[in-house]
């Protein structure tokens, strides 16, 4: 299961855990992804997407189709 947002392309970041003694061990910072069913009024149906919460907030504000157009994507690209 890939941890990638279908719309924004957010991926896990890699960094270090740094202890008090300054030892460094690798860690991953995972994006906040949620699997959601989003209703598309232009198509009259639901679409299931794995999106980041920031993308979800923007979809709530703008709508899915205008947001995809702003990102330069089509609905067929993300499914």
pLDDT in tens, 3-31: 999 999 999 999 999 999 999 999 999 99
Distances (CA, A) of 55 to 23, 37, 60: 35, 14, 9
Where on the phi/psi map is residue 25: left (φ > 0), alpha (ψ -120 to 50), or beta?
A: beta
pLDDT tens sequence across 38-66? 999 888 999 999 999 999 999 999 999 99
Q: Mean pLDDT in the chain?
A: 93
The DSSP letter of residue 4 is -
The CATH T-level fold of domain 13-78 is: Ribosomal Protein L24e; Chain: T; (2.30.170)
User: Which residue blocks in the chain are alpha helix, DSSP H?
Assistant: 53-62, 64-71, 75-78
pLDDT category at 78 given cuts 50, 70, 90 is: confident
pLDDT over 70 (residue 72): yes
Tokens found for residue 41: 């009024």
């Amino acid at each position: 299961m890939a941890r990638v947002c279908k719309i924004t392309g957010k991926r896990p970041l890699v960094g270090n855990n740094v202890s008090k003694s300054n030892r460094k061990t690798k860690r991953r910072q995972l994006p906040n992804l949620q699997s959601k069913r989003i209703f598309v009024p232009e198509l009259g149906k639901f679409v299931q997407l794995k999106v980041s919460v920031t993308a979800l907030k923007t979809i709530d504000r703008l709508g899915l189709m205008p947001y995809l157009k702003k990102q330069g994507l089509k609905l067929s690209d993300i499914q």
